[in-house]
């Protein structure tokens, strides 16, 4: 259970350069704790915000971080570390001397103690939806705090790009991830459920198992208000699984029969600049809104944002205006730049459903252009379990570069390969260029030799995939 962080308590964050752990470090610091951290992976896109806050990280694991006086009162860690390196020297030292070791999510939950906790859950779209809701609440003057699993721009954080917003208002928005019980620390008052798909095949046998995990979590907050995207089959299964709910349920959906939803929409126009929708349920009449984002999935995300914002008391006109000014978050169809006539986008998509939606969205942004998909698969087990789906959706691009698989927490790296995925793409879509291109550096070099003016490169994946776009743009700039 959450408790208030005490001023002066010492929190050591292991893996502090990560997206979530860096947010925990910031929120602990803002709550008055003395925060230290380490990460042998070195600096990351998330560390400048720590530096700006005066939080320093050591670039190695060392039991002295735990044993040297003054010792930390607790260690915050990522579950990826506890699963791939359970004998880590710092964790062992903490256990030996009785210092509590907990997930970094617990620090975020403790920072939110006493506030209205708003959790955004679901398989896809959590970061965009949580960032969008944080933006809307901020524009409405509610000054929310937040943890989002993607970099929020300075216009939302009020400072350096970060995965955390300080905020002193009543609302605290968190991205709640279902993997290995990452969301267990959170007991939300309001929950947005974007969609439920089969993912994390190392833990979940099928979509039903994901539904069961989310349902079990929600039963620990039995009076929470649910904003549920009933346009999604998995979410409808969740509501059936939950049965009668003590809290309110706000049903949202794109192109769902109006009597079945409290907040719905249809798409009126989709252009490279965004998506115009007509929404019902925001007011007495249909409300037309120009969304700055593209893709049907983002219309569904916007409805979730509107439902949550309305539940928190915002007026319909305020919601509509704020939704239309969202700048987006990092690595979610983020336009990285253009060089030698080639436009480069970067996205975190690493699941077939997300890749399909992102490819459709980039074609809306850049109609008529040839699209290269540069994909760094995230984990061997996901690649193996969903190989056919990956091959099918990647084959809808005009050309495919598959970088080495990022292992993450995988103990078995023999179950799949980048070459195997490339071969599967070619087998399912004859004529499409699809190659295993090696490291992210080699992938950028391979693309630089093949792209032509007018092309679009869409980089997707976890790990270090974000470097592909940066390196490609640098090469194109150097050799226009």
Are 141 and 197 contained in the same domain?
Answer: yes
**Token reading at 178:** 């279902």
Residue 5 lies in a domain: no
3-state secondary structure of 204: coil
Of the candidates 71, 42, 168, 63, the one whose C-alpha atom is nearest the C-alpha of residue 115 is: 168
As a whole number of angstroms, the distance between CA 427 and CA 394 comes to 12
Name, in order, each residue with C-beta under 8 angstroms of 50's C-beta and a sequence gap of 6 or more: 16, 17, 22, 25, 26, 37, 56, 57
Are 80 and 129 contained in the same domain?
Answer: no
* pLDDT for 184: 96
Residue 127 lies in a domain: yes
* pLDDT for 383: 98
As a whole number of angstroms, the distance between CA 190 and CA 375 comes to 35
CATH number of the domain within which 425 lies: 3.90.190.20
Domain end (from 58, 90, 105): 105
Do 458 and 472 touch, CB atoms closer than 8 A? no
Residue 277 lies in a domain: yes
CATH number of the domain within which 48 lies: 3.40.50.720
DSSP states of 78-106 as a string? -HHHHHH-TT-HHHHHHHHHT--EEEHHH
Of the candidates 272, 332, 331, 323, the one whose C-alpha atom is nearest the C-alpha of residue 302 is: 323
Are 370 and 238 contained in the same domain?
Answer: no
Are 36 and 68 contained in the same domain?
Answer: yes
Domains contained in the chain, number: 3
H/E run at residue 337: strand 334-339
Residue 328 lies in a domain: no
Are 301 and 365 contained in the same domain?
Answer: no
Q: What is the mean pLDDT of the chain?
A: 96
Are 311 and 435 contained in the same domain?
Answer: no
**Token reading at 441:** 């550096």
Per-residue pLDDT of the chain (480 residues), as tens digits, is: 889 999 999 999 999 999 999 999 999 999 999 999 999 999 999 999 999 999 999 999 999 999 999 999 999 998 777 777 778 999 999 999 999 999 999 999 999 999 999 999 999 999 999 999 999 999 999 999 999 999 999 999 999 999 999 999 999 999 999 999 999 999 999 999 999 999 999 999 999 999 999 999 999 999 999 999 999 999 999 999 999 999 999 999 998 887 899 999 999 999 999 999 999 998 877 789 999 999 999 999 999 999 999 999 999 999 999 999 999 999 999 999 999 999 999 999 999 999 999 999 999 999 999 999 999 999 999 999 999 999 999 999 999 999 999 998 888 899 999 999 999 999 999 999 999 999 999 999 999 999 999 999 999 999 999 999 999 999 998 876
Are 310 and 361 contained in the same domain?
Answer: no
Residue 3 lies in a domain: no
* pLDDT for 84: 73
Are 101 and 116 contained in the same domain?
Answer: no
Are 39 and 160 contained in the same domain?
Answer: no
Residue 70 lies in a domain: yes
DSSP 406: B
CATH number of the domain within which 247 lies: 3.40.1190.10
Are 75 and 116 contained in the same domain?
Answer: no
**Token reading at 180:** 């290995």
Residue 344, domain extent:
334-478
Are 78 and 154 contained in the same domain?
Answer: no
Whether this model's pTM surpasses 0.85: yes
* pLDDT for 79: 78
As a whole number of angstroms, the distance between CA 156 and CA 135 comes to 6
Residue 2 lies in a domain: no
As a whole number of angstroms, the distance between CA 265 and CA 256 comes to 8
Domain end (from 82, 105, 128): 105
Do 65 and 10 touch, CB atoms closer than 8 A? no
Domain end (from 48, 81, 105): 105
Question: How are strands ordered across the β-sheet holding 57-58?
Answer: 57-58, 34-38, 10-14, 74-77, 101-103
Are 317 and 463 contained in the same domain?
Answer: no
Residue 217 lies in a domain: yes
């Amino acid at each position: 259970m959450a408790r208030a962080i005490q001023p002066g308590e010492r929190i050591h964050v292991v893996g502090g350069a990560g997206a979530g752990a860096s947010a925990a470090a910031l929120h602990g610091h803002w709550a008055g704790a003395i925060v230290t951290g380490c990460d042998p992976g070195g600096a990351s896109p998330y560390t400048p915000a720590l530096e700006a806050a005066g939080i320093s990280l050591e670039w190695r694991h060392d039991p002295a971080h735990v044993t040297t006086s003054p010792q930390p009162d607790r260690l915050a860690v990522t579950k990826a570390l506890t699963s791939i390196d359970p004998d880590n020297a710092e964790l062992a030292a903490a256990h030996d001397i009785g210092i509590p070791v907990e997930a970094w999510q617990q620090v975020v939950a403790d920072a939110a103690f006493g506030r209205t906790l708003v959790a955004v859950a679901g398989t896809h779209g959590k970061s965009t939806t949580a960032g969008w809701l944080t933006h809307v609440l901020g524009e409405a003057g509610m000054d929310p705090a937040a943890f989002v699993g993607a970099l929020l721009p300075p216009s939302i954080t009020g400072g350096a790009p970060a995965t955390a917003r300080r905020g002193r208002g009543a609302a605290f928005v968190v991205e709640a991830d279902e993997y290995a019980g990452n969301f267990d620390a959170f007991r939300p008052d309001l929950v947005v459920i974007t969609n439920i798909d089969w993912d994390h095949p190392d833990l979940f046998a099928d979509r039903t198992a994901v539904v069961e995990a989310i349902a079990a979590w929600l039963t620990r907050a039995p009076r929470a208000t649910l904003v549920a995207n009933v346009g999604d089959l998995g979410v409808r299964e969740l509501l059936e699984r939950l049965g009668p709910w003590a809290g309110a349920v706000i049903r949202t959906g794109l192109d769902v029969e109006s009597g079945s939803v409290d907040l719905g929409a249809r798409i009126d126009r989709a252009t490279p600049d965004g998506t115009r929708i007509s929404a019902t349920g925001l007011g007495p009449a249909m409300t037309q809104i120009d969304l700055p984002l593209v893709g049907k999935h983002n219309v569904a995300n916007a409805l979730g944002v509107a439902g949550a914002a309305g539940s928190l008391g915002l007026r319909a006109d305020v919601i509509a205006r704020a939704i239309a000014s969202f700048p987006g978050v990092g690595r979610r169809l983020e336009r990285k730049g253009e060089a030698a006539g080639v436009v480069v986008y970067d996205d975190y998509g690493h699941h077939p459903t997300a890749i399909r939606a992102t490819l459709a969205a980039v074609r809306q942004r850049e109609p008529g252009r040839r699209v290269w998909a540069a994909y760094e698969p995230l984990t061997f087990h996901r690649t193996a379990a969903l190989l056919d789906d990956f091959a099918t959706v990647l084959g809808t691009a005009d050309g495919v570069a598959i970088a080495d698989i990022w292992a993450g927490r995988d103990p078995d790296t023999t179950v799949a390969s980048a070459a195997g995925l490339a071969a599967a793409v070619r087998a399912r879509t004859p004529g499409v260029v699809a190659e295993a291109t090696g490291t992210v550096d080699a992938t950028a070099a391979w693309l630089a030799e093949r792209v032509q003016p007018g092309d679009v490169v869409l980089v997707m994946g976890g790990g270090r995939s974000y470097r592909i776009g940066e390196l490609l743009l640098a090469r194109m700039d150097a050799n226009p």
